[in-house]
Structure 1
Amino acid sequence: MVRGVLPVEGLAALYGPSGSGKSFLTLDLGAAIASGAGTWFGHRARQSSVTYVCLEGEQGMGKRIKAWSMHHGRPVPDSLQFVTQPFDLRKMDDVTDLANAIKAVGGAGGLVILDTLNRAAPGVDENSSVDMGRVIAAAKHLQSLTGGLVLLVHHTGKDANKGLRGHSSLHAALDGAIEVCQNDDCRTWRIAKSKDDETGCVRGFKLHALVIGVDEDGEDITSCVVLPEDVSEEVKRTAMPRGENQKIAVEVIDGLLRESQVYGQGGAPAGQQCVRLDDAIKAVTERVDADAKHRKQRAKESITSVVEKGIYGCKDGWLWRN
């Protein structure tokens, strides 16, 4: 759907903490794809129909659409359509009805956005492998009925460094993932997972406020639009490991951290997931590209490099995400 960012088909996620701007970014993404704008943040976008299932913050969606239209000087494209009625992924009738509705208006093979996963599966235990497995199966079934790409908008947990909230099986099932981050006034998104392209690419953005009307009391009605913004080289270096072995190290260590039940060891902040350095070296050794004789050394070198870049903290034989 977006070159180097999201595949044409499969299951993907866009996730971040509350207030990070992920729903504004999701609308901007959907509108770029539906309008055939050509690019999104410099990445070539494939023109396609988009179905936005808005299950959270739907009261504000009208204002966001109006702000987007005012900023771009044209209405939201007809090929971007919205669903605001309740929807439950775990109910096969709901999945079938949605798929049939999408196909009836020519949306097959396009992008389907479920915003948010929590509202699309109300009451599910996100930390349960069984419950998450059912949710994943239902999302994949929706994708199989409609073709194209299903994008799940999801939250991070209390500790955003742990990635997607809930059981790790969700991340494993994805064909692509975009992580949205906010640090003070700096907002970024990065490619957190891509099966066929490079991960780690970082793009900055800001939310630009617009006055879109006046209410009955004479007060301004405002909303926001997404504007690309350059991020510092320091942010790019921190988020983008160089070299294939460094990228492998980040992928392996992040996977270990998601599964870790150990917190706050070494110099890590309290509540921060940690892994033993020796365990990380062992796991990375199995993946790095090197001959058997030098594989362990290459693993150590790649881990040292990503620690020096500030991606991980390391002390007293423990690793954690910064």
Structure 2
Amino acid sequence: MQTNTRTKPEFIFERANDHIPSRECNYVIRNLCNRKEVGMLVAPSNVGKTAVAVALGAHVVQGKPVLSMNTKRGAVLHICGEGGDGVKDRVYALLRDVEDAEDYLVMKSRLNLGDPDHVPELIEQLKKHLPRCETAISLIIIDTFIHAIVDLNENLSNEMSIATSGAQTIAEELDAHVLLVHHTGRDEDKGGRGSSAIRTNVDSEFTIKKNEDTGACVVNTTKQRNMAGDLRFSYELEKVKLCTDEEGVDRFTVKATIVEGSLSTDDVAPAKFSPLQAAAWTALKGIQAEGKTGAMTSQILNAMPPGLHPKGANTNAKGTTLRGALTKLEKAGKLNGVKNGSGNYFWSLT
């Protein structure tokens, strides 16, 4: 006869009034990524999501602020489901001339978040490796999430809960932030592909939209469980020469550069608007915050960060493109445009 040796669960009840909030800073990137949390970077193909993930990692490994957001310097692990050498090329392009940035680690072995042995084995082996680094681990990038679920079905909520639980275990056991790089579905406006349980189970979500007029991409905060969720910033992609190969042909990679002056934490245009529309709306909001009733198209253009200007051969061409973006905002009810006798428009927020 078998004896039931199952351990009874123990439930602990604590008085909330006895709690003293911690004054310790637990961010990896302030207002963006916290330790012991899981975030998700969602984007369509060909907008440089790996490149911007590498750019964020490069800031963390140096302890360099992301715009005005402080970072806690620490080691970075980039887990590559594909293209590990390509990731190393991007890291090299950003950090080759930087001192004290050796702790950007790349793992080319595929992680399986659905395998009960993989997660604890990764944690154990990384803990053994970390004494070789100058700093503790701060950021773990899983690129891409789909490659890390292997045989799990991305459309089944129970299986995606297993995968995100594995990511959460890594974050908690290593006191780090885990950032999942994820693809959008067929309809970009509906967010990441797969079960809604993926988004539900992560602590933060950031979506990327590309402005075809300027070439700039905007990272929008679309979920924050424990921080304000109104942050956005832009980055640009740049083709960078790596070397000349043995046959005399130049080799290139792509690096992402975060645009100075693009950070916004104010009430901003909804993420469904293009980066150019959002930049124009934010610039106009700043002008009116100074006590002005509105601005002409050219004044809004001058108030925008140069990196977010529309493409154009000259100022007139840029102004024409910007006016088109402002007109769409007017149709969406976000601002008013009044045409004067000279054919120019004066814009104001609604």
Q: Does 1:57 align with 2:87?
A: no
- TM-score, normalised with respect to structure 1: 0.69
Q: Does 1:6 align with 2:33?
A: yes
- Contact persistence 1:49–1:79 (CA under 8 A): yes
Q: Distance in 2 between matches of 1:116 and 1:239?
A: 32
Give the match for residue 170 of structure 1. Answer: 198
- Structure 2 residue aligned with 1:222, among 233, 238, 252? 252
SS in 2 for 1:105: helix
Give the match for residue 277 of structure 2. Answer: 234
Q: Distance in 2 between matches of 1:211 and 1:237?
A: 33
Q: Does 1:120 align with 2:148?
A: yes
Give the match for residue 315 of structure 2. Answer: none
CA shift in 2, pair 1:309/1:127, >3 Å: farther
Q: Distance in 1 between matches of 2:188 and 2:177?
A: 25
Q: Distance in 1 between matches of 2:66 and 2:184?
A: 24
Q: Does 1:83 align with 2:107?
A: yes
Q: Does 1:193 align with 2:193?
A: no
SS in 1 for 2:173: helix
SS in 2 for 1:113: strand
Unaligned segments of structure 2, at least 5 residues: 1-27, 263-274, 286-329, 336-350
- Contact persistence 1:69–1:76 (CA under 8 A): no
- Contact persistence 1:136–1:173 (CA under 8 A): yes
SS in 2 for 1:137: helix
Letter in 2 for 1:221: R
Q: Map 1:97-176 to 2 at 5 A.
A: 97-106=121-130, 110-176=138-204
- Contact persistence 2:35–2:175 (CA under 8 A): no
Post-superposition offset of 1:233? 6.8
Q: Does 1:181 align with 2:209?
A: yes
Q: Does 1:205 align with 2:235?
A: yes
Q: Does 1:309 align with 2:334?
A: yes
Instruction: Tell me which moved more, 172-181 or 107-116.
Output: 107-116
- Contact persistence 1:126–1:167 (CA under 8 A): yes
Give the match for residue 339 of structure 2. Answer: none
Give the match for residue 267 of structure 2. Answer: none
Q: Distance in 2 between matches of 1:3 and 1:62?
A: 26
CA shift in 2, pair 1:233/1:211, >3 Å: closer
CA shift in 2, pair 1:111/1:66, >3 Å: closer
Post-superposition offset of 1:65? 2.2
- Contact persistence 2:60–2:76 (CA under 8 A): yes
State the aligned residue count.
244
Q: Map 1:24-43 to 2 at 5 A.
A: 24-37=51-64, 39-43=65-69
Letter in 2 for 1:118: I
Largest Rg, 1 or 2: 2
Give the match for residue 344 of structure 2. Answer: none
Post-superposition offset of 1:109? 5.7
Q: Deviations over 1:4-40 (max 9, x none)?
A: 1112221111111111111000111111111112x01
Q: Distance in 2 between matches of 1:137 and 1:210?
A: 37
CA shift in 2, pair 1:149/1:77, >3 Å: same
- Structure 2 residue aligned with 1:46, among 53, 59, 72? 72
Q: Distance in 2 between matches of 1:149 and 1:225?
A: 22
- Contact persistence 1:65–1:76 (CA under 8 A): no
SS in 1 for 2:34: coil
CA shift in 2, pair 1:139/1:62, >3 Å: closer
Q: Distance in 2 between matches of 1:64 and 1:237?
A: 31
Post-superposition offset of 1:76? 7.4
Give the match for residue 69 of structure 1. Answer: 95
Post-superposition offset of 1:48? 1.9
CA shift in 2, pair 1:99/1:237, >3 Å: farther
- Contact persistence 1:237–1:309 (CA under 8 A): no
Post-superposition offset of 1:108? 6.0
Q: Distance in 1 between matches of 2:136 and 2:150?
A: 26
- Contact persistence 2:237–2:254 (CA under 8 A): yes
Post-superposition offset of 1:221? 0.6
